[in-house]
Structure 1
Amino acid sequence: MIQQFLDTGEIVSVHGIRGEVKINPWSDTPDFLCDFKRFYLDKNGTNSIEAERVRVHKNVVIAKIKGIDTVEDAAKLRGKTLYINRDDCKLDEGDFFVQDLIGMQVQDADTGEIYGTICDVSQTGANDVYHIRAEGKADKFIPAIKQVVLRTDLQANLMMIRPLEGLFDEN
């Protein structure tokens, strides 16, 4: 099921004395969060905060939230999960939110065999790796490359793949 509000990071601590917060980003790069001025503190989008400034510092994101001007106020946000509205961002063609892939059925494009559903995604640096789980079977792993992943249909909740030779060999 496609969610409108996506969890994208966690406020892990305060930064400095002027009410800034450090955010641990849950995205491919911390820079992704710099494009947003509005974040939400719940998955329903009913409690929003506005960022006055957002910048990357090392591997975290530093944000100054409107109305949060002291260390004490910023400390109250520690541990909060931040959500974004999917309508506020644009992904490149072929890019997907991990949350949209989890639970997606994976099917062989040639034989029609159902391999299972995506249960996790690992980032290896070169490409992502999709973890496929089927009841009673060991998890399978496929590289998220165009030679393997032929089509991803969010509406049908279906990924069509053509495994590389030997990828799923049991021996």
Structure 2
Amino acid sequence: MVSYYSLGIIVNTHNLKGDLRLVPHYPNYPFKKIKKVFVKHFGQYMIMELEKARPHKKFWLIKFRGHDRVEDVAKYKGESLFIESKKAPKISSSFYYWEEIIGCTLFNHRHEKYGKVVDILPSSGHPVYVVDAGNAYEKMIPAAKEFIKKIDRKKKKIFLTEAALSVLE
């Protein structure tokens, strides 16, 4: 079964030539090096070839090969952009795709189990981890260095700092 990593959300068209505005999950992602991406449209992953990609303010402007008019791409507004997980570039040891984080178990600074990451929300600063701590409601914690001590992607474990507890309580 093929798995995918989400790269961002297409929020609008940019011009009449088929360019799209993408709000990336990872602002410094090497979009220029990627050729094959997928758009999830009506529940189906549609393969697209990236003709060009460039940063523009807080967005990335992307263009799909063969989609040269705004009418060709307007239907993708609000859709997510993906890459096949097995073909995703390895960025660095400190870089994590969201799908690698979802499902990780969180441990507090005393290595006691706290909960599980069930979702990630984009934000202007850091992504926000949505945590199911077994209570009646979910808790949220920013994915910032002051709250995340260590991530073990192989064991699917995240260790929090002591400062994280003040945010979670």
Same fold (TM over 0.5): yes
Mapped to 1, the partners of 2:16 and 2:95 lie a distance apart of 38
Mapped to 2, the partners of 1:165 and 1:105 lie a distance apart of 15
Structure 2: segments with no counterpart, 5+ residues: none
Deviation at 1:131, TM superposition (A): 5.1
- The Cα RMSD (Å) is 3.5
C-alpha distance after superposition, 1:39-61 (max 9, x if no partner): 10239995210011111121112
Structure 1: segments with no counterpart, 5+ residues: none
Match of 2:67 in 1: 68
Instruction: Report the identity percentage.
Output: 22
Structure 2 CA distance for partners of 1:164 and 1:16, relative to 1, 3 Å: closer
Mapped to 1, the partners of 2:18 and 2:122 lie a distance apart of 34
Larger radius of gyration: 1
Match of 1:133 in 2: 132
Residue 28 (structure 1) aligned to one of 20, 26, 29: 26
C-alpha distance after superposition, 1:106-150 (max 9, x if no partner): 12464x42111234467674x6665543122773747643x7645
Aligned residues: 164
Residue 41 (structure 1) aligned to one of 39, 42, 45: 39
Partner-residue secondary structure (3-state), 2:162: coil
Match of 2:94 in 1: 94
C-alpha distance after superposition, 1:6-45 (max 9, x if no partner): 12222232222222222222x2316543332221023999
Contact 1:7 1:82 in 2 (8 A): yes
Structure 2 CA distance for partners of 1:30 and 1:59, relative to 1, 3 Å: farther
Mapped to 1, the partners of 2:129 and 2:153 lie a distance apart of 15
Structure 2 CA distance for partners of 1:157 and 1:60, relative to 1, 3 Å: same
Amino acid corresponding to residue 106 of structure 2 in structure 1: V
